[in-house]
C-alpha cells in the first residue's frame, strides 16, 4: 500500500509540475498596445507655426508659404510689412482657404525691388490666429549685357540699307566712269 501512496504522490507531483511548466512557457497577455516604431510616426506640425520651401528666395521670385493652426476651412490672409526709412506699408499678397486640418498654403511672389529680411504674416480671418515666417531675399541676378553680341533689330536694318545704297551708288559711278572713258577714247580715235 505504501507503494501505491508513493506512486499517487509522485503522479500528483508530476501533474502539478507539468501545469506550472506550461504556465511559465505561455506568452503573457499584452497589457497595452505596442508602441509604433519611430519610422511609423509622422511628425505633426506645431500649432500656430509656419514654414517656407525656400529660406533665401531672389527678388522677383516665388516662395511657397504654409501656415498651421487655423480653423478648418477658414480664409487666411498672406501679407508683408515692408518698412523703409520714410514709410511702412502693408502689402496684401494672397488670400487662401485653409484645409480641413487648419493648414493654409500659398505661392507668394516676392516684390521685385526688395532685398533683405521679409516677414510674411498669415492671419486667419475668422479665428484671428496669426503666424509670421521670415525669408531673406537676395538681389536678382543682373540682366546680361549685350557686349560681344551682333547688332540686330531695327537699327541693323538701317545700317544694312545704307551699306547697300553705297554699294549700288559706287557701282553706278564706276559704270559711268567707264562709259565716259570709252566715249573719250572713241572721240579721240575718230580725229
Averaged over 79-102, what is the pLDDT? 81
Question: CA–CA separation, 94 vs 74, rounded Å?
Answer: 14
48: Cβ contacts below 8 Å, ≥ 6 apart:
68, 69, 129, 130, 131
Burial status of residue 127 (CB atoms within 10 A of its CB: 0-12, 13-18, 19 or more)? middle
Regarding predicted confidence, which is higher, 117 or 22?
Answer: 117
Q: What confidence category does residue 75 fall into, taking pLDDT thresholds of 50, 70 and 90?
A: very high
Cell 508513493 sits at which residue?
6
What sign has the CA pseudo-torsion 55, 59, 64, 68? Answer: positive
In this prediction the pTM is 0.50
Say yes or no to pLDDT of 135 above 60: yes
Choice among 22-26, 97-101, 115-119, 168-172 with the minimum mean pLDDT? 22-26
Query: Rounded to whole angstroms, how far apart are CA atoms 71 and 73?
Result: 6
Amino acid at each position: 500500500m505504501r507503494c501505491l501512496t508513493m506512486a499517487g504522490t509522485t503522479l500528483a507531483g508530476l501533474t502539478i509540475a507539468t501545469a506550472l511548466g506550461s504556465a511559465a512557457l505561455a506568452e503573457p497577455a499584452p497589457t497595452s498596445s505596442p508602441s509604433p516604431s519611430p519610422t511609423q510616426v509622422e511628425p505633426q506640425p506645431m500649432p500656430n507655426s509656419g514654414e517656407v520651401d525656400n529660406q533665401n528666395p531672389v527678388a522677383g521670385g516665388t516662395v511657397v508659404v504654409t501656415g498651421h493652426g487655423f480653423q478648418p476651412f477658414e480664409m487666411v490672409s498672406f501679407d508683408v510689412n515692408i518698412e523703409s526709412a520714410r514709410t511702412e506699408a502693408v502689402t496684401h499678397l494672397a488670400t487662401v482657404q485653409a484645409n480641413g486640418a487648419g493648414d493654409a498654403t500659398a505661392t507668394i511672389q516676392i516684390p521685385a525691388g526688395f532685398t533683405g529680411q521679409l516677414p510674411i504674416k498669415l492671419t486667419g480671418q475668422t479665428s484671428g490666429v496669426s503666424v509670421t515666417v521670415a525669408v531673406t531675399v537676395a538681389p536678382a541676378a543682373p540682366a546680361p549685357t549685350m557686349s560681344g553680341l551682333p547688332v540686330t533689330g531695327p537699327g541693323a536694318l538701317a545700317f544694312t540699307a545704307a551699306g547697300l545704297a553705297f554699294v549700288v551708288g559706287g557701282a553706278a559711278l564706276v559704270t559711268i566712269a567707264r562709259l565716259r572713258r570709252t566715249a573719250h577714247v572713241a572721240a579721240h580715235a575718230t580725229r
